[in-house]
Structure 1
Amino acid sequence: MSLIAQQEITVRSARPQDEKGVISLWHDCNLTTSYNDPSKDFQFALNKSNSDILVALQRDTICGTVMCGHDGHRGWLYYVASSPSLRGSGIGKMMVNAGEEWLRKCGIAKVQLMIRQSNEEVMNFYQHIGYEHTPRIIMAKWL
């Protein structure tokens, strides 16, 4: 991303009125699934002591997001998104860095994320910015 473009982008916590634009970006980036309601996810994470949604703005348009949260021990990043038309410009990395910084300020020393196994493009992105595959078995139960 050019220095001029970087200067045009600001990152801040999402506000309730950002919900429509954030969810639209999540849909554009294929981050939504049939079993997660993005509106409920947005409302659940917004501006709590252990979670937040950060947005990147180019002028007044949402062009990036990251949902960050922690359990007091480990941090997690979710819904990392950058506008498809701006891919490769550094917004994804900017959002990951912003989420990591948010977690650092909360005193969290380790950050994790989950990637669908079929999403090789995203795996390559995270490896490129320093994340490594950590073999684990994740078990889940719907409540």
Structure 2
Amino acid sequence: MQVRPFLDSDEAAVIALWEAAGLTRSWNDPRKDIERKRSVQREWFLVGTEDDAVMASIMIGYDGHRGWINYLAVAPEHRKKGHARALMREAERLLEAAGCPKINLQIRTSNASVIAFYKAIGYAQDEVVSFGRRLIADE
């Protein structure tokens, strides 16, 4: 897998990847999420490619207090080969170089395999409750 920044021409392939990985939801328009990321730390929206085809993605963010991971995805046919782990290592490298002391991420409680993945690479559940409030509806 080659890792590089997201290109505008990757949009359709990334959305298809997210759909195949079960990451899209009706209340989050993936095109709008991509558009928003293009305007904030664009260089930290990475894709993994094989033979120039997008097969993985990760959005990385840092607000000066915590790092955040969103849209980590690997195409089903490329899983169990270390690609997600490699993307997380790159995210950790970038965030640490920026002075980020801690990474946060959110996982749906029903997603047992993803919870197991993060535990296997050294992440642990924090003693917090995640709250959210939608400010802009993606309709």
Global fold match (TM > 0.5): yes
- Aligned to 2:127, the other structure's residue is in SS state coil
For 2:100, the equivalent position in structure 1 comes to 108
For 1:41, the equivalent position in structure 2 comes to 33
Q: How does 1:3-82 map to 2 (within 5 A)?
A: 9-46=1-38, 48-49=40-41, 52-82=44-74
Selected match of 1:117 from 109, 115, 130: 109
- Aligned to 1:46, the other structure's residue is in SS state helix
Moved over 4 A (4+): none
Which deviates more from structure 2 when the two are superposed, residues 93-102 or residues 46-55?
Answer: 46-55
- Aligned to 2:44, the other structure's residue is in SS state strand
In the superposition, the TM-score normalised over structure 2's length comes to 0.91
1:95 has 2:104 as partner: no
Deviation readout 1:105-143 (Å, 9 max, x if unpaired): 322121110000000110001000110111211222222
Deviation readout 1:52-97 (Å, 9 max, x if unpaired): 3100111111111100111111000001011100110011111111
* Pair 1:47–1:14, CA change in 2 (3 A): farther
For structure 1, the residue ranges without an aligned partner over 5 or more in a row are 1-8
- Percent of aligned pairs sharing the same letter: 36
CA–CA distance in structure 1, aligned partners of residues 115 and 69 of structure 2: 14
For structure 2, the residue ranges without an aligned partner over 5 or more in a row are none
Which structure would you say has the larger RCO, counting Cα contacts within 8 Å and 6 or more residues apart?
2
For 1:6, the equivalent position in structure 2 comes to none
Task: Figure out how many residues of one structure are paired with residues of the other and give that number.
Answer: 135
CA-atom RMSD in angstroms: 1.5
